[in-house]
């Protein structure tokens, strides 16, 4: 959505609300297209004594494979973003990275919203905080069913320990017998 902001820039105290649905279904995150339904966008642009602020509120559903078990996981997110708008070119602006330069008094809100959301998304999605993940040996989803790999590993380790202990016993016995002689 292209916002025309000249009126707001020229009138201190003015404010405008914008509300629409943004289709982000084409946007890829890694190999997924996680924006399964349109993103609800509410924005407000206001002029406070010459300082023009863009406030954005977004809410959306996000479907992404769990980082541990790879099951598709549907999450709801909502975020607030805030930017200062300036008619100065970016190099001349004093406000740093939160400032967006709008030299012709227009802004393409879709692009701003997309960039803000992609920067804010968590780096990992989990189906539940205590997801047990997949067995690294047999690939079974351990949330659904425990496999035998873990007990087998423990058994193998115990067996190795037993062998080790037996060897030590032998050494001790040998030493004893030497002492006895």
Q: Which is nearer to Zn ion, 89 or 136 (CB)?
A: 136
Q: Which is nearer to Zn ion, 94 or 145 (CB)?
A: 145
- Least distance between Zn ion and beta carbon 63 (Å): 13
Q: Which is nearer to Zn ion, 1 or 149 (CB)?
A: 149
**Within 13 Å, how many C-alpha atoms sit on residue 68's CB side?**
13
DSSP states of 7-42: HHHHSTT-EEEEEEEE--TT--BTTB----SPEEEE
- Least distance between Zn ion and beta carbon 35 (Å): 20
- Least distance between Zn ion and beta carbon 136 (Å): 8
Q: Which is nearer to Zn ion, 84 or 149 (CB)?
A: 149
- Least distance between Zn ion and beta carbon 114 (Å): 27
Q: Can you tell me the distance from the alpha carbon of 132 to that of 137, in angstroms, rounded to the nearest whole number?
A: 14
DSSP state of 157: H
86 three-class SS: strand
Q: Can you tell me the distance from the alpha carbon of 41 to that of 60, in angstroms, rounded to the nearest whole number?
A: 9
Which residues of the shown chain bind Zn ion in the complex (CB under 5 A)?
66, 68-69, 127, 131, 135, 137-138, 147, 149
């Amino acid at each position: 959505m292209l916002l025309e902001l000249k009126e707001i820039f020229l009138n201190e105290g003015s404010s405008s609300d914008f509300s629409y649905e943004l289709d982000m279904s084409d946007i890829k995150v890694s190999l997924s297209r996680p924006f399964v339904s349109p993103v609800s966008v509410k924005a407000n642009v206001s002029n406070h004594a010459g300082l023009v602020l863009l406030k954005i509120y977004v809410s959306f559903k996000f479907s992404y494979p769990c980082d541990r078990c790879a099951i598709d996981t549907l999450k709801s997110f909502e975020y607030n973003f805030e930017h200062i708008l300036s008619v100065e070119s970016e190099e001349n602006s004093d406000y740093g990275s939160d400032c967006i330069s709008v030299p012709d008094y227009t802004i393409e809100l879709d692009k701003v919203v997309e960039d803000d959301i992609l920067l804010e998304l968590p780096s990992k999605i989990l189906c539940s905080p205590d997801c047990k993940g997949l067995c690294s040996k047999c690939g079974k989803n351990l949330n659904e069913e425990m496999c035998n790999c873990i007990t087998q590993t423990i058994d193998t380790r115990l067996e190795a320990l037993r062998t080790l202990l037996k060897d030590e016993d032998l050494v001790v016995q040998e030493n004893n017998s030497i002492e006895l002689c």
